[in-house]
Chains A and B, each alone.
Chain A
Amino acid sequence: MTFFKASIRRELINYHRKPSLVLNPLVFYGLVVFLSVIAVGPEKGQLVQVAPAFIWTAALLAILMSADGVFRNDYEDGSLELVVVSGKSLAVYVLAKTTAHWIVTVVPLVLLMPLLGITLFFDFRSIWVLCLGIVLVTPTLSILGAVGAAITLGLPRNGMLTFVLILPFYVPPLIFVTGMIQASQLGEAILPFVYWLLGIFFLAIALAPMVLIACLRMAAED
């Protein structure tokens, strides 16, 4: 537990000292949504129909982009080796990493959501559902993003590889979270989608650490 706390603290200090890690994905997210709105045109009826699609696509890419770097710094400065040698649980380390990443990417996204929602003519209920969707789906995206980062760790210039490997796994959460918004706009129940998203999250958090640990060990060993 103390190791978990110390690791989380270390991560948050790092994000605090390098605000670009938090701001870059956020700016990217804002810009993609903004450009899409300009491309579609400002007609209310049309926007409400297509807006969820690009809101989620942008969020997904922003998170994957920022998750790509979660282990890089530790790998390069040698801390990863020290964690592996220390005999500390790598699962705890990985959990601290992804939790911190989730906190710093999701909180700004949730704060930005009402603003975006209003610009896109969403009603209050839809904005609420959007925020709920963000909170439900992003932990899964963070964890899967970390898997991508760990797999490509140690490969020079891995740019697109993470995207190609991980984007297919982003499809199921994407389908259910967009479905949730559409259901709420049509006045249908959103609860089934909530269950699905939670189910996917539990599946990810149960299986991903095994892959993560194996990849990190391999990266530390070369």
Chain B
Amino acid sequence: MLEVEDLTCLRKGRALFSELSFSVRKGEILQVVGPNGSGKTTLIRTLVGLYTNFRGEINWNLSESPLFMGHRSGINDHMTVRENVEWLVSLNDQVFKPSQLDDVMKNLGLAKLESIFCADLSFGQKKKVSIAPFLLSDNLCWLMDEPFSGLDKNGVALLGKFFGDRMAEGGLIIFSSHQPVSIGGPLRSVVLS
């Protein structure tokens, strides 16, 4: 579980948000809501340790590092869809069978694109590629920055369903989005102003 107490993030000498406190338990999903520039990305980056200019306490009670999806995709344009997914998965020490990978690709609608260079994909398709490692992992803690942006209607519904499934398995998900999202379950939110 995650406990955040009195978190204040500073950017260029100005407080983005101050004295933020919340906690997330296993089986809970937290949506970070707020207008552009309110600090959603900074909050997510602070939680994974990529932003250190903050005051307050962040306590993770986890055995492994959370899976992270950032603003930048981490996808290499000169590698194929499959090569990218395999490398991203190797970052999480995950072992998977080829059939699992095929299933995930089919689910995401990437089955026919496996040997295409990522430079030739659209923004939304790249987003799906960066979602793939999450579905191949046993790690139940996900931190995602704007996972829904760029996805088509089906993609949004699909990711919502994945969220619901993970929650049922006892997952802990924190994501940012300024749109209302339905995940087939209760959704808590932190509002940044």
- Which residue of B has the minimal Cβ distance to A16? B78
Out of A77, A88, A220, which one reaches B73, CB within 8 Å? A77
Number of contacting residues on B, CB 8 A?
Answer: 27
A interface SS class: helix
**Cβ-based interface call for B27 (8 A):** no
Q: Output the residue of A78, A82, A83, A220 with the most chain B CB within 10 A.
A: A82
A78 with B90: CB separation less than 8 A: no
Chain B, residue nearest A221 (CB): B50
Evaluate contact between B70 and A78: CB separation under 8 angstroms.
yes
> Is B49 in contact with chain A by the CB < 8 A criterion?
yes
User: B74 to A77, Cβ gap below 8 A?
Assistant: yes
B68 contacts the other chain (CB 8 A)? yes
On chain B, the residues within 8 Å of A88 by CB distance are 91
Looking at chain B's contact residues, is the secondary structure mostly helix, strand, loop, or mixed?
A: loop
Binary per-residue interface labels of chain B (136-155) against chain A in the complex, 1 for a CB within 8 Å, 0 otherwise: 00000000000000000000
Q: Known contacts being A13-B83, A221-B50, A221-B51, is A77 close to B90, with CB within 8 Å? A: no
Interface string of A72-108 (1 = CB under 8 A from B): 0100111101111111100000000000000000000
In this complex, what residue of A is CB-closest to B119? A17
Among candidates A6, A77, A81, A221, residue contacting B76 with C-beta atoms closer than 8 Å = A77
Which B88-131 residues have a C-beta within 8 angstroms of A? Answer: 88, 90-93
Contact A81 B70 (CB under 8 A): yes
- A79 close to B65 (CB less than 8 A): no
Q: Which residues of A contact B71 (CB under 8 A)?
A: 78
